[in-house]
Structure 1
Amino acid sequence: MNLKLSHISNIKNNNLQITGSKSETNRLLILQSLYPEIEIDNISNSDDSRLMRAALASNEELIDIHHAGTAMRFLTAYFAVKNGRTTVLTGSKRMQERPIKILVDALTQLGCDISYVKNEGYPPIKIVGKNPENHKVSLAANVSSQYISALMLIASSLPNGLEITLEGKVTSVPYINMTLSLLKDVGINGSFENNIIHIEPIKIVSPKTVVVESDWSSASYFYSIVALSDFGTVTLGSYKQDSYQGDASLSKIYKRLGVETTFKENRITLKKINSLDSSDILELDLSNSPDIAQTIAVTCFGLGKACYLTGLHTLKIKETDRLEALKIEIEKLGGEVSITDDSLKLSASTLINSDITIDTYHDHRMAMAFAPLALRVSLFINDADVVSKSYPDFWDDLKKLDFKVL
């Protein structure tokens, strides 16, 4: 599906309900499968969470999770400790290019039985479920937090729990803390101190209903919309000021881009304020929240503001190489971008080319990050239905704000 977003002068004020966080949902779905006493409310309606639920309910040996990277990592650990079950875990062509070796090596340290079906270090993988006897594992601290969270989520089901030693400087700390907080919410004890994560074993948890907070990554696109409007207000639910999600840093970041956030009764109201100084370069270390880098870069481009974003090394192994994709698409629009393996630098520019077609590279965040530019120029979005990966209602919600989506 290809869409045209026609230029609009401003947005209609509206109240929107954002789907539950897929990061929280997918963690809780693994825990629910290990401990059926857990109930989950406000589950994400994203493709990733739908695929996770289907995989966990399946009795088939072959499980295809398509583009769902979180599902690949979490399910690798989950099936590795399902004693007596053999699973072949595969995915899309791009998924088979995304590394899994770090997690497989860690699980092998524990005594799990995992082999590669095609290429060493990459899916598809064959998993023969076991009851691993070891309870200590170590891995590099600067890897994707999903590898670490995958181990944390299955840790309490092991006979002696699990001790994870992280070697070096830890990145994506908020996602590790999110996993730890959700474990505690369902009654699993754990700690994270001095680069060592310790999760205690437990066989049964007390019945509990956990409510998933709405997704802050999805909120980022509305921060961008309000920032690029001349004036505007949008209210989003359901959000907490003491969120587990690292992307909640949006409220502070976007204040520097002209958006004020007000918290009230589990909702946030975003309001345009006229305090933006476009002459300053926006410098951010996004190692704790790399998923909002695309949105911030496009916002700065639309505002004519330079930015220098670092801590982005994990973006090269996402649905696409997000740094390269950002450079290509922003430069098609008239911007000037330079990238390294872990950074992006955008020069300030007032030029934005109109009626450009944005390629999405099978990446939901590319489609949604560029959509707010319709407040500046008309543009086309290729493969626009890719948003269903995390936010199926995105285009309908834009229409509620008076965006012209054709």
Structure 2
Amino acid sequence: MNLKVQKSKAESQKSKVEITGSKSETNRLLLLQALYSNISLENTSNSDDSEVMADALQKSKIKNQKSLIIDVHHAGTAMRFLTAFFAIQEDKEVILTGSSRMKERPIKILVEALQQLGAEITYEENEGFPPIKIKGKKLRQSKVSLPANVSSQYISALLLIAPKLENGLELILEGEITSIPYIKMTLALLNEIGVETSFVKNVIKINQKSEIVNHQSTIESDWSSASYWYSIVALSEIGTQITLSSYKKESLQGDSALVEIYKSFGVETVFNSNNSITISKNSNLKLETLNFELNNCPDIAQTIAVTSFGLGIGCHLTGLHTLKIKETDRLEALKTEISKLGANISVTTDSLTIQQSNNLNSNIAIATYQDHRMAMAFAPLALKTPLIIQDAEVVSKSYPAFWEDLQNIGFLIEKE
């Protein structure tokens, strides 16, 4: 489904949007809930990824079914977390597979780490990539090391199962650590349910915990989803306000860096007493190149790049090496699509640079590469020029109500 997206003449300057729970927090807590049945969850994400995760974990509970085939489709988080989860499910044999793109996304570093702990995992097709076969068993080792600059999802996958290992886990990270906020999120969620952890220099230790007391978690709304609303406000007239629920000032999510980053785009954030935030455009910008290091929040790079281009200012974004193994190679995809609109953009293996320019081509069709963030990052540009977003339904991966929410605040959206 292709959608034409454009600005409404009757666009409201003040709007409210409800955003469901963080996909990152939800998927971690779903796995912990599967390990400890007396955890209850509120405000879970309604994303495809979280539904895939929940469905797979539900299948794991079926008694007398020792062999399973689970298809995670495009859900990278589910692939990584479930690989670790099923490695410790004794007497279960599982084949984890996914979409054609998923079969191109590496899993070898996580598999090898689990094998160090004693896991039995083999590749069904290509070495180092899904699909994989996992024969669940008790893992008796308690010490493992892996490169620190890998996707934090590999690290979190190990940390989440660690309390159920008979001697806990000591994880040694070698080199400079990537995406520390996501690791700290995982540790904080473990702490919330009563698991003792430590993170000193490059060593993480998780204590064994066989049972926990009854625990209820209310999941904070998703900051990655909030990024598109920050972009919309930045690209709007001074005075535009959007209220989003529900967010914490002391967030576990790395993408809450939006609050500081978007000050450079004239957007201010107010945390309200009811856990909502109000974001407002309150100033114009100096036309200077902005520099952001996004090692801790790479998922908002596409949004920031599009915002910069739409405002006619340059940007230099670094710390983006993990974007090449996402739903698509996000750096190359951004380069291709934003160039169509008239941008002068260059990318390396871990950075992106857009030159200051006022070029903006109209009625361009944006390819989304089966990547939800490509669709949503480009949509706010409709405030500047009509756009066609191809395969627009891909947003359901993380934010199913995205197009409906845009319409509700005054965007005109038509099927092509």
**So what's the TM-score if we normalise by structure 1?**
0.99
Shift, 1:385, TM fit:
0.5
Shift, 1:12, TM fit:
4.0
Aligned with 1:369 (options 377, 391, 397): 377
The question of 1:94 aligning with 2:95 is answered no
Q: Which residue does the alignment assign to 2:228? A: 221
* Secondary structure at the counterpart of residue 206 of structure 1: coil
* Secondary structure at the counterpart of residue 159 of structure 2: helix
The question of 1:14 aligning with 2:15 is answered yes
* Secondary structure at the counterpart of residue 125 of structure 2: coil
Cα distance in 2 for residues equivalent to 1:173 and 1:361: 28
**So what's the TM-score if we normalise by structure 2?**
0.96
Deviations 1:206-233 (A, max 9, x none): 1011000000000000000000001310
* Secondary structure at the counterpart of residue 205 of structure 2: strand
Aligned with 2:269 (options 261, 265, 268): 261
Cα distance in 2 for residues equivalent to 1:219 and 1:167: 33
The question of 1:316 aligning with 2:324 is answered yes
The question of 1:353 aligning with 2:381 is answered no
Cα distance in 1 for residues equivalent to 2:165 and 2:46: 30
Shift, 1:190, TM fit:
0.6
The question of 1:191 aligning with 2:164 is answered no
Listed as ranges, the matches of 1:37-56 within 5 Å are 37-56=38-57
Shift, 1:301, TM fit:
0.3
The question of 1:390 aligning with 2:368 is answered no
Listed as ranges, the matches of 1:81-160 within 5 Å are 81-160=88-167
Q: Which residue does the alignment assign to 1:4? A: 4
Q: Which residue does the alignment assign to 1:36? A: 37
* Secondary structure at the counterpart of residue 243 of structure 2: strand
CA contact (8 A) 1:8 1:374 kept: no
CA contact (8 A) 2:178 2:295 kept: yes
Q: Which residue does the alignment assign to 2:219? A: 212
Listed as ranges, the matches of 1:151-170 within 5 Å are 151-170=158-177
Deviations 1:52-98 (A, max 9, x none): 00000114510000000000000000000101110000000000000
Shift, 1:275, TM fit:
4.0
Identity %, equivalent residues: 60
* Secondary structure at the counterpart of residue 375 of structure 2: helix
Residue type at the aligned position of 2:334: L
Residue type at the aligned position of 2:43: N
Shift, 1:6, TM fit:
1.9
* Secondary structure at the counterpart of residue 304 of structure 1: coil
Residue type at the aligned position of 1:73: R
* Secondary structure at the counterpart of residue 139 of structure 1: strand
After the TM superposition, which parts of structure 1 deviate over 3 Å for at least 4 consecutive aligned residues? 7-12
Deviations 1:319-374 (A, max 9, x none): 00000000001000011110000000001111110100000000000000000001
Most deviating of 247-256 and 12-21: 12-21
Cα distance in 2 for residues equivalent to 1:349 and 1:235: 31
CA contact (8 A) 1:11 1:403 kept: no
Number of residue equivalences: 405
The question of 1:336 aligning with 2:344 is answered yes
Shift, 1:277, TM fit:
0.9
- Unaligned 5+ segments in structure 1 are none
Shift, 1:274, TM fit:
1.2
Residue type at the aligned position of 2:313: K
CA contact (8 A) 1:8 1:376 kept: no
